[in-house]
């Protein structure tokens, strides 16, 4: 039941527009002289809200080439996928596999990606068909955060890192006492640079699975000065045990050749709640 991809993507997806965070790596980039934790001012909370919403609103409007590599706990490659995504095309054509594990995709694999696109038309998933299998029953990361209670985790002359709390009620995916969410924003032009979710301590999920460690980090970059930043990379890893047997691995995802496009479903006036689009 607990496969490596679902475990890693749970953490990696968990942040995606979440609107928050500079992963532990991001925090490490801040000099030691950075200020410590403190309450965020009303203006800072307003900036965080605006930055995250602007990024979330444009997230689905990027076409890109994606290279995804999933490794096992020993670093061996389990799967490698190169694909092109273009949300301006009809749903069956939005996801085009280019290479699967270094080879040309089979007809069956191409058909699978066509079905993903068709499914996204039904669910209006913010991830255009790469949605979680039980997405109907789970709340996205964006729906589980409380921006109004965010605090300043660290700060320099150029950057500020917010710690964004998670709600407790109805939150089975990311217990707030177990996970830390951080968001790094560049002050000068109020641009989101990084979002991450880190496991504070191990916990038991659904009785038989004990999650021991896990981190997910998302990097954003300005591709078009007229647009909010686009997601360009995701890194995540996780370790868990099922009946005392350790499992785990990591995922690396890179997006290149980004182009801002008009969504195919916009011609039908389909709309998705802004923060709901923020997820792993």
Tens of each residue's pLDDT in the chain, 280 residues: 334 334 344 443 444 333 333 333 333 333 333 455 899 999 999 999 999 999 989 999 999 999 999 988 788 999 999 999 999 999 999 999 999 999 999 999 999 999 999 987 765 543 333 344 344 455 666 677 788 999 999 999 999 999 998 888 777 667 778 888 899 999 999 999 998 888 776 656 654 455 555 678 899 999 999 999 999 999 887 665 554 455 578 889 999 999 999 999 777 655 555 555 555 4
Contact assessment for residue 94 and residue 66, using Cβ atoms and an 8 Å cutoff: no
Q: Could you tell me which residues come within 8 angstroms of residue 152 by beta carbon, excluding any fewer than 6 positions away?
A: 35, 37, 38, 39, 40, 44, 160, 161, 162, 163
The closest alpha carbon to 271, from 17, 52, 57, 50, belongs to: 57
Q: Is residue 115 within 8 Å of residue 107, measured between CB atoms?
A: no
Query: What local confidence, expressed as pLDDT, does residue 203 receive?
Result: 56
> Tokens for 167?
């709600």
In this structure, the number of other CB atoms found within 10 A of the CB of residue 266 comes to 14
- Distance of alpha carbon 186 from alpha carbon 15, whole angstroms: 18
The answer to whether the beta carbons of residues 158 and 33 sit under 8 Å apart is no
Task: State the pLDDT at residue 145.
Answer: 76
**Nearest CA among 42, 64, 55 for reference residue 15:** 55
pTM score, whole prediction: 0.74
Radius of gyration of the chain (CA): 18
Lookup: tokens for 225: 């000065």
């Amino acid at each position: 039941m607990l496969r490596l991809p679902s475990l890693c993507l749970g953490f990696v997806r968990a942040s995606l527009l979440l609107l928050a965070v500079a992963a532990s790596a991001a925090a490490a980039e801040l000099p030691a002289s950075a200020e410590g934790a403190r309450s965020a001012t009303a203006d800072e909370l307003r900036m965080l809200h605006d930055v995250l919403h602007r990024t979330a609103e444009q997230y689905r409007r990027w076409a890109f080439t994606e290279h995804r590599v999933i490794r096992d706990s020993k670093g061996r490659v389990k799967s490698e996928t190169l694909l092109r995504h273009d949300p301006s095309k009809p749903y069956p054509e939005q996801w085009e596999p280019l290479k699967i594990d270094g080879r040309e995709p089979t007809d069956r694999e191409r058909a699978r990606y066509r079905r993903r696109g068709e499914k996204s038309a039904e669910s209006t998933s913010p991830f255009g068909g790469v949605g979680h299998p039980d997405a109907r029953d789970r709340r996205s990361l964006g729906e589980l955060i409380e921006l109004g209670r965010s605090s300043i985790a660290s700060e320099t002359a150029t950057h500020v890192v917010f710690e964004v709390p998670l709600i407790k009620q109805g939150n089975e995916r990311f217990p707030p006492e177990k996970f830390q969410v951080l968001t790094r924003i560049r002050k000068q032009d109020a641009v989101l640079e990084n979002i991450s979710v880190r496991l504070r301590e191990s916990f038991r999920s659904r009785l038989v699975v004990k999650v021991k460690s896990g981190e997910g980090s998302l990097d954003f970059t300005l591709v078009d000065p007229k647009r909010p930043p686009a997601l360009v990379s995701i890194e995540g890893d996780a370790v868990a045990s099922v009946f005392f047997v350790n499992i785990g691995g990591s995922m690396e995802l890179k997006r290149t050749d980004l182009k801002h496009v008009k969504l195919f479903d916009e011609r039908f006036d389909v709309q998705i709640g802004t923060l709901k689009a923020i997820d792993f």
